[in-house]
Chain A
């Protein structure tokens, strides 16, 4: 099944609404005037060559980088759409460990390497007030199972895990609190092809089962083909083309996208 066959029904309110997002590093453009809406349950892929501004954009969305201009509106439920850039730091950090999740390319950036797998998964639960060891451990076991890590590895440290296992552990650690929006930066980067395929499969299942909304950055078009409903193509910090994934990949309009797609086909 292709991911693109989504969102045919009645319009719903977006969960994330981005307007005019701009970030410069001194004189250099990080990303410029980026805007899009993300709907509940939707996966947005961001592709583009190295240096095109994908990570900059993602980090601005997730509150890791402060943009120079623009708005990042997030649906806070009862509080409605709020500009996350205008939230106080405690509010933003709270959001980051409840409703949001961030999966780093390098699992070392997203895991605590000196803490057991169970402790890594349990941390977000404890951060939001879980104080029952048995319940925390049961959740950790459940989540290790969901990302296909054997239960008897629960007390091992991630340093003893393969790259693919570390990445799956990072995903479990992020999803345990049931976030609504997940940011991922090259989640399959640096992994062997067969390991990538398994991880992608797993991610696709989790996104579907949990009804997650996600923004996923990658330079690998196979990843977006499998995961993303919609696509944004970036070049020099700007979005040059956007649309349903299959549409963009099969019938690219912008010259740069055509190059991008054809170069992948040659690989």
Chain B
């Protein structure tokens, strides 16, 4: 065994395993354990400089770096897709610094780092879903003072969260919040689930561990498996996750979250699954959407 291997570093690499030094990873793991022990509570951590800009999910990357082991298989998605610039570069980053296996298949991954989506396929026990979080504080919108929002969390003073929903209804006739829809965790902490569509909110109660990392804001929070997650609402304006407005043009799915894509320069458009792996899996299993024939014939 080489010294590098004994230290847990990828053989031959110039980096510590998964880029961060062991001390930093220990610090992040302590924050993660605390976050798991108090679901929905934002734990401060000393965010490190990462070799990428903040908007690229440095919080999620640090959390992934702290939980990855050499045996892990990593999947990275951005808006549900494995092949966007952001997802590709984060995946490459960990291939290079950790030498780990990567996959695009949700079912094969042990760690999934995500931005803006929860995979369609139900996650299972033993998997870890890591979210990139831009703004961890759900109360920030109406109360910019950090000292005050902390006190509100401590004292469970969450009336303000409903003021935000009230304003929505007053202005738009319904709760117009479509992303980062606030949730209450185990009847205690109000949490921002990161900018996932509210469509994904019902999936937040799941078998996998969910870890949330905000790099610029230096906060980590978490949901252990099967944590109770309730989307905030009013009795007479109940939470509606919304449903697909059509079927995926490629795989025909009527239950998955769809993205609208422009297909030509004449304004032609179609709706396809935002979860590229889910869509490919369905097509591989023989499901076809209305545009799939063209695709097959090409």
Which A residues contact B (CB, under 8 angstroms)?
Answer: 89-90, 93, 97, 112, 114-116, 118-119, 122-124, 126-128, 131-134, 136-137, 154-155
Contacts and interface: CB of A to CB of B under 8 A. Distances in A.
B162 interface: yes
Interface string B146-160: 000000000101011
B236 A123 contact: no
A132 B163 contact: no
**Secondary structure at chain B's binding surface: helix, strand, loop or mixed?**
helix
Interface stretch (B103-111, B165-173, B213-221, B246-254): B165-173
A133 B159 contact: no
**Secondary structure at chain A's binding surface: helix, strand, loop or mixed?**
helix
B142 interface: yes
Nearest to A89: B155
B294 interface: no
Q: Which of A112, A122, A133 has the most CB of B within 10 A?
A: A133
Please give me the 8 A-B residue pairs with the lowest Cβ-Cβ distance, nearest first: A127-B159, A126-B162, A126-B159, A133-B234, A132-B235, A90-B155, A119-B163, A123-B163
A126 B155 contact: no
Contacts of A90: 155
B237 interface: yes
A191 B42 CA distance: 43
A115 to B, nearest CB: 6
Nearest to B232: A131
Given A126-B159, A127-B157, 6 more contacts: A115-B142, A119-B167, A119-B170, A122-B166, A133-B237, A136-B166
A116 B239 CA distance: 22
Contacts of A136: 166
A112 B142 contact: yes
A136 B166 CA distance: 9
Contact of A116 (B170, B234, B235): B170
B220 to A, nearest CB: 26
A81 B34 CA distance: 40
Nearest to A118: B170
B142 to A, nearest CB: 7
A37 B261 CA distance: 71
Interface residues of B, number: 16
B162 A118 contact: no
A116 B166 CA distance: 9
Contacts of A124: 159
A114 B166 CA distance: 13
B159 A134 contact: no
A219 to B, nearest CB: 30
12 contacts: A114-B142, A116-B171, A119-B163, A122-B166, A126-B160, A126-B163, A127-B159, A127-B160, A133-B235, A133-B236, A134-B236, A137-B170
A136 B167 CA distance: 12
A228 B81 CA distance: 68
A133 B142 contact: no
B167 A123 contact: no
B236 A132 contact: yes
Interface string B77-112: 000000000000000000000000000000000000
A132 B236 CA distance: 6
Nearest to B156: A90
A127 B162 CA distance: 8
A114 B142 CA distance: 8
A115 B170 CA distance: 11
Given A90-B155, A131-B235, A132-B234, A155 B170 contact: yes
Contacts of A137: 170
A183 to B, nearest CB: 20
B222 to A, nearest CB: 25
Nearest to B235: A132
A122 B170 CA distance: 12
B167 A131 contact: no
A112 B163 CA distance: 11
Contacts of B142: 112, 114-115
B155 A93 contact: yes
A124 B142 CA distance: 14
Q: Which of B155, B167, B235 has the most CB of A within 10 A?
A: B167
Nearest to B162: A126
Nearest to A90: B155
Contacts of A128: 159
A131 B234 contact: yes
Contacts of B170: 116, 118-119, 137, 154-155
Contacts of A114: 142
Contacts of A89: 155
Contact of B166 (A93, A97, A119): A119
B174 to A, nearest CB: 10
Contact of B163 (A97, A115, A134, A155): A115
A118 B162 CA distance: 13
A118 B142 CA distance: 15
A109 to B, nearest CB: 13
Contact of B169 (A93, A127, A133): A133
A137 B163 CA distance: 11
Contacts of A122: 163, 166
